[in-house]
Amino acid sequence: MSDQKISRVLQVGIVLLGIAAGTFGMSLLIPKGGFNDILATKKPESNISQASLDGTASAQAVAPATKQIMEVPKLFQGKTIYEAKLKPNEKVIALTFDDGPSPKNTAQILEILKKNNIKATFFMVGGMVQLNPQVAKKVVGDGHVLGNHTWHHGYRRMDAAKAASEINSTADIIYKTTGVKTTLFRPPGGFLKNGLVDYAISQKYAIMMWSTESGDSQGRGQAPTLVKNVIQRSKPGAIVLMHDGGGNRSRTVKALPQIITGLKSQGYRFVTIPELLEIEAKAETLATKASPAVKKAQNPNNQPKNP
């Protein structure tokens, strides 16, 4: 074989190796949670400046003028919550959306919510906020609540430093982008034992799970199935899980108006997570205050009961 042919073969081999390496590298960027969106390749800093979490933005990024603190009653901070404990006649429900913000899906969902005068709670992935800052700002501008959903949406076990990085980095980018500090955290995939929740609890986050889900992340069933899943499984105090990111959410967009209509027909009104938990907290406070009066009415002379 001539030197020219050998050179040509080597060049082709190098190109093929480059393509293979590139393909492998791209696969590492797509989280196991099913994301089709490729998150930012920059790894979050493990030593995020505490100043931004305390309310002071770094010199490199200026936070919006309007700052908001989105938190739940102290009763729920550091707790894991699946739903609000309400009376059967208190027909309130909270819609939540995970894995955004996404330019197309989130924008469509925001429009539907606006038409129905509904406020929801969005659990955002830090890498997606970095990619789509204007969408994140739009969510807040429309009056919705934000929660922390980690930077990479990973499921695997991680040490304390990595868990802190995932949560703090996301808190940092949310604050710098929207001016919001949130005490709401939702673990990706609902995994409670991989290190993330332990760190979040230590920081007094409310761990927000869900009691009802549409099934839109499972890739099975069309919009009518998603509607049926939510309508049939909802009850007063329910927290509904849906997704505005992490893939093609056209089924969610199509199902959402029907979900809203179906729940409204059952007498439900829609609230954010903080509003939902505030309702439960007030109910518990009233019950506590009323209990001495109830006991006195049952035993007005404070006589000891028969054994």
Q: Are strands 145-148 and 180-182 parallel, antiparallel or unpaired?
A: unpaired
d(Cα 196, Cα 264) in Å, to the nearest integer? 35
The Cα 163–Cα 196 span in angstroms is 5
d(CA 169, CA 174): 9
**C-alpha count within 13 angstroms, C-beta hemisphere, residue 125:** 27
Q: What is the DSSP-derived secondary structure letter of residue 78?
A: T
Handedness of CA 287, 145, 82, 116 (dihedral sign): positive
Give me the active site residues, please: 98, 243
Closest CA to 207 of 223, 185, 231, 234: 185
d(CA 232, CA 97): 19
Secondary structure E strands in 194-244: 206-208, 212-213, 239-243
CA dihedral 282, 286, 288, 289 (to 10 degrees): 130
